[in-house]
Structure 1
């Protein structure tokens, strides 16, 4: 008999390892969106195969401040490169007190996210001191889609840095990068559609 993790996904409930449910690692936000929590390395029991059409949102708010973000969402086949969880104290970022976001660090202005299972849509809210580009790549590393923040004049920046929801779509996205030249960027409300 196949275990839950080995079964081919039909409804999503056939694909979720029961220990994840009992550990509170995910919750339903709506019938269309699943909120997934970060997990420690010892909690990680394998990768959940998510069915096509399912949307998930990463519960970034559950990360610890100053935590290096790499494999906390690996159970869902998602890993980060050059990312740290942060609660920005600079009011220019326009973030509520105690709100946790992901910042590009230690290298400023560049953040990468890898997907073990191809996805078809990635969206996030980006706040940046410069115009930010979100690019999507296939398994061969070729760019398949790109979007960017609306243009703004750095000399006339308001007291609160601009934020924009960036979305890329494609049939076989395996990696996305957020990039801003010579600037700082933070990412929040990170959603993925498989």
Structure 2
């Protein structure tokens, strides 16, 4: 027998027990059987949501055995929808994580090959020379300036901070590597 059908049948038979127990005024037994039946319906819905559509016996459709039992039909539908939303969120998070990992790997490859232009960033020597002229510059949404013997910075959220005393190539490289790999200076909201 198919596992999904077997679970639906088990829940339906328990619901028959619920009706019988209610009829003979055994309300504690009825509540216990109702709880078990709902749990089986919820588990069935979750399992069906995790299966590929072509393998799911019921999928988003309510099992026919639940059609005349509103409580089981609702339990199945609610848990199926919830499980699908969770799976969609999980897939979205996994896709975002893969995209971030690819972007990070690309950024690291560009850093290793000194291809700063591919990241839309100045190279460290160019940034150092620019800052030594006393002119400010915005790099990766960070406003940077060299003033009074110190390199000052405002991060994308407007939080001020200092990067170092002199805009050396090493300091500029460290800053560029951080922002190229998704980092930010200063606190974030």
Q: Structure 2 length normalisation: TM-score?
A: 0.25
Higher relative contact order (CA 8 A, sep 6+): 1
Larger radius of gyration: 2
Q: Structure 1 length normalisation: TM-score?
A: 0.25
Q: Identify, as 1 or 2, the structure richer in strand.
A: 1
